[in-house]
Chains A and B, each alone.
Chain A
Amino acid sequence: MSRDASQPVTGVAGVPSRRHGHRAVAAVLAGPALVLIVLFLIGPLACVALLSLTDYQLGAATLNYVGGKNYAEMFSDRVFQKSLTNTLLYVAITVPGSVLLGLGAALLIEADRGLRTFYRAIYFLPVMATLIAMSIVWEFMLHPQFGIVNQLVKALGLSRIDWLQNQSVVLFTLCGIGIWQSLGFNMVLFMAGLTSIPKDLYEAAAVDGANSAIDRFRLVTWPMLGPVTLFVVVITAIRSFQVFDTVQVLTKGGPNKASEVLLYTMYSEGFEFFRSGYASAVTVVFLVFVLALSALKVFVLDKRVHYA
């Protein structure tokens, strides 16, 4: 047996080095994912930023650098202004509506045992159902003449409302559908937050003399649920910024741009008029909002929300 053992292992001739851990294996296992990340996420993201500085139109032979021209055009464009304010308004209405109803539903359902599973299933149903199909059902129910909603409105002695064709109503109608669709999702997030509250906190509160449901809520539930609520608000906002399906199929942004939203503007400029450069600039604006919210979630909230 050789006593000359004071060599580093990697120095042994003909011995494959295993010193760098699992480098080759890792390349095989993670390589495809890395390639696809570059191809479908990082690459396109960089391209959007670059395209927004050009006059590229799909199918055109050339493209020119135009600097901030797209952005200048965009911010002076009435359609874009309308689109941006509509989107912000949509978010500002949908988020509180959906979060508060979701929270209320979660608290009420968890407050007692009766029909708990039934309610949870019903409230969650719209989250599962194809939004496009349900949008069409809503359109049918909101039909100005024979829609069930207007028939009920008329039965109550009120005058009919043209839910999807009236400029001053249409955005609120879309908000309503948005809330209807998303409150069940928020509800299950709140339920998860509720179940992660330690039971002995309620018992301790009871021992301390918190006897009414309101006391328990103020002393235990709300402080424990507060961070979850912030988290739910942010992800609902992110999802609301992405409103598209209902607009595309029900209103096409109309009437008179009253329901024009950012993603619909991006879609029509990019995929109907093929003005890729301009649509990229719209995308960048959309991205700024979503990334700001995501960053808020990742860097601030994820540290404070603890799910057991």
Chain B
Amino acid sequence: MSGAATGPLTGSGARLRRGAVSLQSISKSFGAQNVLKQISLDIASGEFLTILGPSGCGKSTLLRIIAGLETQDWGTVSIDGQVVDHLRPAARIIAMVFQSYALYPHLSVLDNISMPLRLSRLNMLQRLPGARYLHPGTRRAEGEIKEAARAVAGILRIEELLARKPRQLSGGQKQRVALGRAMVREPRVFLMDEPLSNLDAELRVHMRAEIAQLHRRLATTFIYVTHDQAEAMTMSDRIVVMMEGTALQVAPPKEIYENPNDLSVARFVGSPAINVLPGTIESDGSIDVLGARLRLRTTLPAGARVDIAARPHVLSATAHTDAPTVTGRVVHVENLGADIFVHVGVEGAPAPVVMRHDPALALTPSLGDQLTMVLPPARVLVFDDRGRRVSASSDASVEQHAHV
């Protein structure tokens, strides 16, 4: 089972490192529709990688290609340095947790968890009912399998459910059984396809923590597909943001949030969504945003159109300042307790600008108020007209000049 796990990632310690996945130019189309466009990705052994994207972006297809349930049109999938394109799912030594859990409805929890081991360790004759009474070797193997299944059930704290059928379980219990079935075969890689989306909100938060703990405990590669940014942000070592079949950015959660390389990524991650305002490069190189002048240096020529994006918590209200500001009327106030989000209708902005307001501050803006907000140049993000991130450095000389 460990024979495949040789390669550059074999760890320095005594423990064999395995589960490094490498995708090379994976492409896939269904009919005329290109679902995946040249996806290349290297996933390190033991990493928790989340593929995040809206529904229909190709993230599940990519996962199914890694699993061997779908065949790519182009490109290769390798696990631990070995090309696995020709291998059936079971031969790839991976495990998958499905959105609907996919438990065998006619089998008990114990049998569900045991199934992958029964299929890999027992031959067809041994799996026949009653074989254990005729053949001591089968009896021993069955005993070992049951032992392994019980051990997994112990880790997941579902020992008392082993005799039940799936229909007698709650959603969270089914989820644990599905995890158990994945764990029991000690896979090189866990593949999870929206495993929490059928749970209610509270349980989802709880299972999020459990899966993260499980990952730390098993130290195995997890590839996790979701459309829920909270899941991606809280559990992952790295996130792949996918849109329309393309991997837009691969980076740790903090980086994805603070430093998105594409406007789509910036818009998709973060709640409430990032504010996007139209801007133009002026002749002196600074950026004009609805009358505010951001003293930033970019490589773009004068006259180029750009989009300026600022997260709600970056904005702040002010009475009078030298810093660039935008002004508008408060159209809506959302009080979430720990945060207050103020929606401000700014003339020229495509949508109301959302600003986080600290409830600790004395004056909470109310509906209809005139509000002036500071756009701190160092903290806004600049994107070109194709949505690509443009590096922008604050121009010290310009700024100094303004202060004098």
Which residues of A are at the interface with B, using a C-beta cutoff of 8 A?
1-3, 5-9, 12, 14-16, 18-19
Chain B residues within an 8 Å CB radius of A15 = 85-86
Chain B residues within an 8 Å CB radius of A3 = 24
Q: In the assembly, what is the distance between CA of A19 and CA of B83, in Å?
A: 17
Q: Check B257 for interface membership: any CB of A closer than 8 A.
A: no
Q: What are 7 sample pairs from A and B whose C-beta atoms fall under 8 A apart? A: A1-B22, A1-B81, A5-B24, A5-B75, A12-B85, A12-B86, A19-B71
With contacts A1-B78, A15-B86 known, what are 20 further pairs, Cβ within 8 A? A1-B22, A2-B76, A3-B24, A5-B25, A5-B40, A5-B75, A5-B76, A6-B25, A6-B75, A8-B73, A9-B71, A9-B72, A9-B73, A9-B74, A9-B76, A12-B83, A12-B85, A18-B71, A19-B71, A19-B73
Q: Nearest chain B CB to A114's CB is how many angstroms away?
A: 34
Q: In the assembly, what is the distance between CA of A14 and CA of B71, in Å?
A: 16
Encode contact with A along B74-90: 1 for CB under 8 Å, 0 otherwise: 11101001010110000
Contact across chains for A9 and B81 when beta carbons are under 8 A apart: no
Contact partner of A9 among B22, B40, B85, CB < 8 A? B85
Among residues of A, the one whose C-beta sits closest to the C-beta of B81 is: A1
Q: Which of A1, A9, A12, A14 has the most CB of B within 10 A?
A: A9
Chain A residues within an 8 Å CB radius of B24 = 1-3, 5
Which residues of B are at the interface with A, using a C-beta cutoff of 8 A?
22, 24-25, 40, 71-76, 78, 81, 83, 85-86
Contacts across chains A and B counted by CB atoms under 8 Å: 38
Chain A residues within an 8 Å CB radius of B72 = 9
Q: Nearest chain A CB to B74's CB is how many angstroms away?
A: 6
Contact across chains for A8 and B81 when beta carbons are under 8 A apart: no
Contact across chains for B22 and A16 when beta carbons are under 8 A apart: no
Q: In the assembly, what is the distance between CA of A5 and CA of B75, in Å?
A: 5
Contact across chains for A16 and B86 when beta carbons are under 8 A apart: yes
Chain B residues within an 8 Å CB radius of A1 = 22, 24, 78, 81
Q: In the assembly, what is the distance between CA of A15 and CA of B85, in Å?
A: 8
Q: In the assembly, what is the distance between CA of A9 and CA of B36, in Å?
A: 14
Contact across chains for B86 and A7 when beta carbons are under 8 A apart: no
Q: Nearest chain A CB to B313's CB is how many angstroms away?
A: 42
Q: Nearest chain B CB to A73's CB is how many angstroms away?
A: 55
Q: In the assembly, what is the distance between CA of A304 and CA of B81, in Å?
A: 57
Chain B residues within an 8 Å CB radius of A6 = 25, 74-75
Contact across chains for B74 and A8 when beta carbons are under 8 A apart: yes
Q: Which of A1, A2, A14 has the most CB of B within 10 A?
A: A1
Contact across chains for A9 and B75 when beta carbons are under 8 A apart: yes
Chain B residues within an 8 Å CB radius of A5 = 24-25, 40, 74-76
Q: Nearest chain A CB to B104's CB is how many angstroms away?
A: 20
Q: Nearest chain A CB to B296's CB is how many angstroms away?
A: 38
Among residues of B, the one whose C-beta sits closest to the C-beta of A11 is: B74
Contact across chains for A7 and B78 when beta carbons are under 8 A apart: no
Q: Nearest chain B CB to A158's CB is how many angstroms away?
A: 62
Contact partner of A7 among B22, B71, B74, B81, CB < 8 A? B74
Chain A residues within an 8 Å CB radius of B83 = 12
Q: In the assembly, what is the distance between CA of A8 and CA of B26, in Å?
A: 10
Q: Nearest chain A CB to B7's CB is how many angstroms away?
A: 9
Among residues of B, the one whose C-beta sits closest to the C-beta of A15 is: B86
Chain B residues within an 8 Å CB radius of A8 = 73-74
Chain A residues within an 8 Å CB radius of B71 = 9, 18-19
